[in-house]
Amino acid sequence: MSNESANSAISLVAIQVGNTRTKLGLFLDGKLERSVKFEKEQLAEIVGEVTRMWTELDDCEISALVLSTVNEKDTTSLHSMLADQLGEEIYRIGDGSPDSMPVPIGTCLDPNTTPGSDRLLNAAAAYELLQSACIIVDCGTCVTVDFVDGEGVFHGGAIAPGARMQLDAMHRGTAQLPTIPLTKPVGDPWGSNTPDAMLRGVYHGIRGLVWRLVEQYAERFGGFPLVVATGGDSELLFGDDELIDRIVPDLTLLGMAAAARAALLPDTHEATPNRSRAELGALGAEWANLDDAQDLLTNDAEDNRGDHD
């Protein structure tokens, strides 16, 4: 990495290792130019694409390789292969080690609680984007529904099995339920055959779960926060749902860029400090800045609807 000017935008190759897939993002001068997904087993293809992306940053003043993972077991080989191939430092984000990059988001959690780095990165990116209290719905291997208050503090949330995990569990846990792909149910609200019934149970179950949690968060908060969805199944599950204000497929990658800016360009970013429960007190609607954020959503929501994965 070169670091000649603290006033320059940072360029990145971001490597996000999930439980099922690995996603790569190329940031040029702070802007996400493209992202691409691979199955986690495609190590050679991942290394090849990271190498191609890295060569595109040769002329950038400040550049870095950053990696975040929720699956350390499957990350060891990838990290070793990338280090051998590129000979560059790879910054780790939020993995709990002393030299890892912190995620620039305050937390209000029970002592010794360590949420997944993907949840914190989503929260950091959503708050940076909206500057408002918000709820983040991540639809991937698991479904998470997390709350960030109007001061940019992450309070935690809920975790449930994702759509494909539910379908797989029904097949594995029974003698007669088949293996079926995840698709959006169409036609009557009731399934007239077993696969349709399974799809409806999973699809509407997840949507109902998220609706109920959002209602509970809003009641506790004293206002209705903006709701952002992300993850590989977000468009399928919530693309037509009025509950969701915005779908941002690359939210975790954007959070990784925010972490890199905070760590490598500290003069340009002020991270939110951690807050204790006693300091925060009861949640209140006065923390929200919903009007400004709603203006942002109104101006560009339609453009972003065309970019979902």
Domain positions in the chain:
1-92, 103-254+272-305
Handedness of CA 51, 52, 53, 57 (dihedral sign): positive
| 309 has pLDDT over 90 | no
How high is the pLDDT of residue 22?
A: 96
Specify the DSSP class assigned to residue 156: E
Rounded-to-10 torsion of CA 129, 131, 133, 136: 10
Same fold, 1-92 and 103-254+272-305: yes
118 noted as active-site residue? yes
Report the distance separating Cα 78 and Cα 93, nearest Å.
Answer: 15
| 281 has pLDDT over 70 | no
Domain 1-92 coded CATH 3.30.420.40? yes
pTM of the model: 0.84
Type of residue numbered 233: D
Average pLDDT, the chain: 86
Residues paired with residue 158 on neighbouring β-strands, in sequence order? 145
Specify the DSSP class assigned to residue 195: H
| 304 has pLDDT over 70 | no
Exactly one of 29, 84, 118, 307 is catalytic; which is it? 118
Kindly state the average pLDDT of the residues 185-208: 97
Report the distance separating Cα 121 and Cα 127, nearest Å.
Answer: 10
User: Are 38 and 7 spatial neighbours (Cβ–Cβ below 8 Å)?
Assistant: no
Element (H, E) at 26: strand 21-28
How high is the pLDDT of residue 8?
A: 53
Parallel, antiparallel, or unpaired for β 21-28 and 31-39? antiparallel
| pLDDT tens digits, one per residue of 76-89 | 999 999 999 999 99
Q: What angle do CA 178, 160, 107 make, to 5 degrees?
A: 160
How high is the pLDDT of residue 285?
A: 33
The CATH H-level (homologous superfamily) assignment of domain 103-254+272-305 is ATPase, nucleotide binding domain (3.30.420.40)
Q: How far apart are the first and last CA of the chain?
A: 30
CB-based burial label for 243 (10 Å; 0-12, 13-18, 19+):
middle
CB-based burial label for 36 (10 Å; 0-12, 13-18, 19+):
middle
Element (H, E) at 11: strand 11-17
